[in-house]
């Protein structure tokens, strides 16, 4: 995949994140392999590496749904880390 194509996917993801009101989430590195976009979602010092099928980019609605599912996973990971930290400190 050409760098321009990756940048277009990145911009679309950033637009969707903004439309979801999740400006605290940043898009890290993006790459393509085996028909999937590999993307890093960053929130604070947390990074979540995920894959999205390129077919999900056919419609903005599909991108929004796929990205929202990844954001839910990221939030669960962060909450688990916080819970683990609280248990260690207590």
Per-residue pLDDT of 40-87, as tens digits, reads 999 988 889 999 999 888 898 999 999 999 989 988 988 998 899 889
- What pLDDT shows up at residue 7? 93
- Residue 13: how many CB atoms within 10 A of its CB? 22
- What pLDDT shows up at residue 17? 93
pLDDT tier at 12 (50, 70, 90 boundaries)? very high
Output the pTM of the full model: 0.83
CA distances for 6 relative to 22, 60, 62, 87, angstroms? 21, 16, 18, 41
């Amino acid at each position: 995949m050409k760098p321009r194509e990756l940048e277009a996917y990145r911009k679309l993801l950033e637009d969707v994140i903004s439309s979801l009101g999740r400006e605290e989430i940043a898009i890290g590195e993006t790459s393509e392999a085996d028909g999937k976009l590999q993307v890093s979602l960053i929130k604070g010092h947390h990074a979540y590496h995920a894959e999205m099928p390129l077919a999900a980019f056919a419609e903005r609605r599909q991108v929004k749904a796929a990205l929202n599912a990844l954001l839910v996973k990221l939030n669960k990971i962060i909450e688990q880390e916080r819970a683990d930290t609280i248990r260690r400190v207590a």
